[in-house]
């Protein structure tokens, strides 16, 4: 429209549209271009990175170890890139994804600063019409959603938020310019994985730091450190072996998995194992016994071990007890790694507010009112997480066969077959969708599996002249039942986690991830493909 300032682009046609330029989108674009498909990738950020483009808050870093938080499909990439730390910071991960993008020559098919606003399927032409906030209107046979399970930020609906006169930030949409917090009175809402990374770093800058905590978390030490050159050389020499281990791993990691149940050892031996793992740090702290999430005795022993560590670290006993998790099993919420998180609460300028005792009633022009007390703040940081699994989908207007809206299909909770497709939405291929194991694994390993499965599927459809490909309603319902059955008998449902959708008011409560492990998931997906894509309706 003349004078509107909008960019209007004429309709164009592609074989595939990919949404998102993180790990998933980069790899999907690479594989689909190798199939000879004409592709366009849209990314709402101004550069590659996906979640790591937005998550650049102070202290943000990966909690999978760098040497396996990467693509494994190319030995050349593995040999050429060298990580510097055990747990890489956000900027190093972005540099890595830039390196991969440039090494594979992908930028010419990427369009940045562009948000996909709607996906509408046309039954007659078997094509998707894709619209963006920049006026693009294109059609494509396939749409691949590489949008991530945790990319739609969640800001709580707190009265008075718009009246706050200071600065406000969400950890998942952190400014790209440096944020100076020196001399500021800072409030942080949330103590999940982002909060535990953020809080110790902010405490080093702020004049005063007030932490507003709803649910205390079980956190274990990262013990981050620079990578030893000899270790790096050894890993690079053994990547073939390590990748084979990863493919057979439930967690998608080339690390030893626990095989022994808790009841086979005495408590002294169990404590020795946990102490040793605590000193090493990292995710293996919770990988000591095979029945952590199925045996209440095993779980409670681990939980009490963590509680003892908190009480031994935090000097103020009242503060320590507020930080001690109670009332839900350890690892039934997302496990957290930290660096000096509990030690931070020994600092004289750091305060903890338990919002169960002193609920936040409103945000005032000068700060936060909780339990009738006004906390004067210059900056409020929301470490309040995401509308997981569904939020990134439902922020687009997605309409499948007969104009059915995905929002209506998911009114009672998300459903998907293998987390890779949705009944009634042909040729919409979803990387790491609902009922998929990604969030319970080393995510790049699951991404590689999903994208490779999708690329193989599209190659098959092209060879066979298939115009429409979608899960049957029966297969989708059976997979959702199977996913729910796997959760039964575990301790996962006993925690109000974002895995359950419990952080979003009004969201249906269901465990939205596949808990059978990446190895079993790989086998199931391979069986589906080998049987002519069993559970899918294929239309010529």
- Give 114-168 pLDDT, tens digit per residue: 999 999 999 999 999 999 999 999 999 999 999 998 888 999 999 999 999 999 9
Sort 377 into a burial class: Cβ within 10 Å, 0-12 / 13-18 / 19+: buried
* DSSP H stretches of helix in 405-491: 406-409, 443-464, 473-487
Superfamily of domain covering 12-152+388-467+517-533: FAD/NAD(P)-binding domain (3.50.50.60)
Angle value at C-alpha 519, between 453 and 97, nearest 5 degrees: 55
Q: What is the residue extent of each domain of the chain?
A: 12-152+388-467+517-533, 161-233+252-382
Confidence at residue 349, expressed as pLDDT on a 0 to 100 scale: 98
**Does an H or E element contain 341, and which?**
helix 341-344
Dihedral angle over CA of 310, 315, 317, 320, nearest 10: -30
Q: Which residues of 222-248 are buried (b: 16+ CB within 10 A; e: fewer)?
A: bebeebeeeeeeebbeebeebbeebee
- Give 164-217 pLDDT, tens digit per residue: 999 999 999 999 998 999 999 999 999 999 999 999 999 999 999 999 999 999
Please indicate, yes or no, whether the overall pTM of this predicted structure exceeds 0.85: yes
Confidence at residue 11, expressed as pLDDT on a 0 to 100 scale: 59
Residues near 392 by beta carbon (within 8 Å), at least 6 away in sequence = 145, 147, 148, 149, 151, 152
Query: Nearest to residue 214, comparing CAs of 199, 195, 186?
Result: 195
Asked if residues 367 and 353 have their Cβ atoms less than 8 Å apart, the reply is no
Q: Which residues of 378-395 are buried (b: 16+ CB within 10 A; e: fewer)?
A: bbbbbbbbbbbbbbbbbb
Confidence at residue 151, expressed as pLDDT on a 0 to 100 scale: 84
Low-confidence ranges of the chain (pLDDT < 50): 1-10
Confidence at residue 10, expressed as pLDDT on a 0 to 100 scale: 44
């Amino acid at each position: 429209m003349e004078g509107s300032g909008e960019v209007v682009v004429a309709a164009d046609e592609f074989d595939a549209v990919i949404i998102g330029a993180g790990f998933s989108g980069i790899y999907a674009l690479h594989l689909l271009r190798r199939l000879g498909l004409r592709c366009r990738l849209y990314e709402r950020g101004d550069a590659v990175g996906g979640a790591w483009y937005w998550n650049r808050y102070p202290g943000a870093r990966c909690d999978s170890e760098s040497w396996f938080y990467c693509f494994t499909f190319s030995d050349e990439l593995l040999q050429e890139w060298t990580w510097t730390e055990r747990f890489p910071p956000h900027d190093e991960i972005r540099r890595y994804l830039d390196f991969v993008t440039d090494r594979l020559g992908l930028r010419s098919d990427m369009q940045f600063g562009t948000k996909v606003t709607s996906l509408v399927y046309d039954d007659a032409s078997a094509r998707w019409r894709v619209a963006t906030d920049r006026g693009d209107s294109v059609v494509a046979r396939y749409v691949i959603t590489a949008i991530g399970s945790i990319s739609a930020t969640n800001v709580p609906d707190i009265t008075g938020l718009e009246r706050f006169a200071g600065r406000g930030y969400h950890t998942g949409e952190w400014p790209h310019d440096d944020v100076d917090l020196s001399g500021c009175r800072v409030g942080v809402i949330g103590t999940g994985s982002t909060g535990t990374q953020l809080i110790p770093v902010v405490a080093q800058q702020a004049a005063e730091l007030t932490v507003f905590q709803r649910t205390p978390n079980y956190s274990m030490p990262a013990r981050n450190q620079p990578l030893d050159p000899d270790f790096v050389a050894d890993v690079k020499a053994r990547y073939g072996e390590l990748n084979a281990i990863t493919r057979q791993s439930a967690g998608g990691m080339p690390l030893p998995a626990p095989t022994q149940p808790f009841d086979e050892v005495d408590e002294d031996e169990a404590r020795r194992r946990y102490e040793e793992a605590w000193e090493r740090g990292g995710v293996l702290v919770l990988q000591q016994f095979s029945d952590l999430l199925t045996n209440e005795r095993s779980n409670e022993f681990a939980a009490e071990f963590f509680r003892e560590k908190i009480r031994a670290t935090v000097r103020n006993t009242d503060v320590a007890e507020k930080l001690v998790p109670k009332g839900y099993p350890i690892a039934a919420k997302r496990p957290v790694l930290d660096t000096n998180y509990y030690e931070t609460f020994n600092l004289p300028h750091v305060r903890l507010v338990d919002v169960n005792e002193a609920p936040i009633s409103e945000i005032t022009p000068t700060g936060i009112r909780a339990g009738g007390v006004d906390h004067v703040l210059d900056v409020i940081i929301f470490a309040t997480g995401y509308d997981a699994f569904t939020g990134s989908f439902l922020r687009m207007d997605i309409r499948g066969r007969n104009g059915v809206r995905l929002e209506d299909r998911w009114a009672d909770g998300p459903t998907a077959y293998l987390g890779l497709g949705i009944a009634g939405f042909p040729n919409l291929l979803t990387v790491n969708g609902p009922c998929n194991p990604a969030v319970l694994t080393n995510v790049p390993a699951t991404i590689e599996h999903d994208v490779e499965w999708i690329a193989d599927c599209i190659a098959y459809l092209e060879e066979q002249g298939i115009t429409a490909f979608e899960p049957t309603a029966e297969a989708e319902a059976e997979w959702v039942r199977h996913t729910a059955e796997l959760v039964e008998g575990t301790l996962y449902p006993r925690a109000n986690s974002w895995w359950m959708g419990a952080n979003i008011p009004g969201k249906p409560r269901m465990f939205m991830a596949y808990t059978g492990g990446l190895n079993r998931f790989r086998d199931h997906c391979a069986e589906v493909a080998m049987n002519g894509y069993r559970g899918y309706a294929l239309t010529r």
